Amino acid sequence: MVFTAGEIPPWAAMLGVFDLETTGIDPATSRIVSAHVGVLGSDGVPVERRDWLADPGVEIPEGAAAVHGISTERARAEGRPAPDVVGEILDALRDLSDRRIPVVIYNAPYDLTLLMHEAVRHGHRALDDSLLVIDPLVVDKAVDKYRRGKRTLTAAADCYGVSLVDAHDSSADAIAAGRVAQALARRYAAELWLSADELHALQVAWCREQTESFIAYMRRVKDPQFTTSDLWPVRELQLEY
């Protein structure tokens, strides 16, 4: 198939975007502080958006606050109760799933696993497996395996010519991740000219391969017993409430 410059696969013509800012790095114990769910048109311009600031019900560590700029005091004064926020985020993602709009989530296993823990913690029905996910981190590693350097969202945005202002703001990160996904779709149209369902399934396999390679590297250079989950887009729940 021959593609014209800038032509975009159908899955990228309208994309949901989702990002969380949280209290920490462990998805089993961290809590949601802020969140964004939106929709981008084919030009990367937001056409729908919802933003949340939550009172997570726990102290926000200084290290986390230094990253996203939201202190415990601000979250308590301006944030809404965590159970309400979590329920509304779940509803917003279900709405995108019902409309068959794929959702871009950079490093999806972190955000989705944390959200699943929050759903259980606050007594909400968790998402089912019908959500179509596009994870630019996984896709980028698959189509450009040997590029040196970091694979953070900031690095990916720079690589693909996407402006990322206010990194670690949930809305800025979500929108930038969506635009990175669209840039990937344009640059690698031949490899990514798939349905959203096909791309979702491929990412499951790609993540498994990438994780196996990472485990082999870590065992070789750091820890012979190192292991980590290769599940995507949601990791195992560790229920200790």
pLDDT in tens, 37-80: 999 999 999 999 999 999 999 999 999 999 999 999 999 999 99
Determine, yes or no, domain membership for 229.
no
Determine, yes or no, domain membership for 72.
yes
Closest CA relative to residue 104, chosen from 25, 208, 179: 179
Determine, yes or no, domain membership for 210.
no
Determine, yes or no, domain membership for 51.
yes
Q: What's the pLDDT score for residue 164?
A: 95
Q: What's the pLDDT score for residue 48?
A: 98
Asked, as a colleague might, if the bond just before 102 is cis with ω within 30 of 0, I would say: no
Distance separating alpha carbons of residues 158 and 195, to the nearest angstrom: 27
Determine, yes or no, domain membership for 230.
no
The model's pLDDT over 125-167, given as tens digits with 9 standing for 90+, comes to 999 999 999 999 999 999 999 999 999 999 999 999 999 998 8
Output the domain CATH number for residue 74.
Answer: 3.30.420.10
Q: What's the pLDDT score for residue 117?
A: 97
The model's pLDDT over 174-209, given as tens digits with 9 standing for 90+, comes to 999 999 999 999 999 999 999 999 999 999 999 999
Domain limits for position 47: 10-195
Q: What's the pLDDT score for residue 239?
A: 65
> How far is C-alpha 87 from the geometric centre of its chain's CA atoms?
18
Determine, yes or no, domain membership for 131.
yes
Q: What's the pLDDT score for residue 7?
A: 79
Domain count, the chain: 1
Distance separating alpha carbons of residues 198 and 202, to the nearest angstrom: 6
Determine, yes or no, domain membership for 54.
yes
Determine, yes or no, domain membership for 78.
yes
What is the band of 236 on the pLDDT scale with cuts at 50, 70, 90? confident
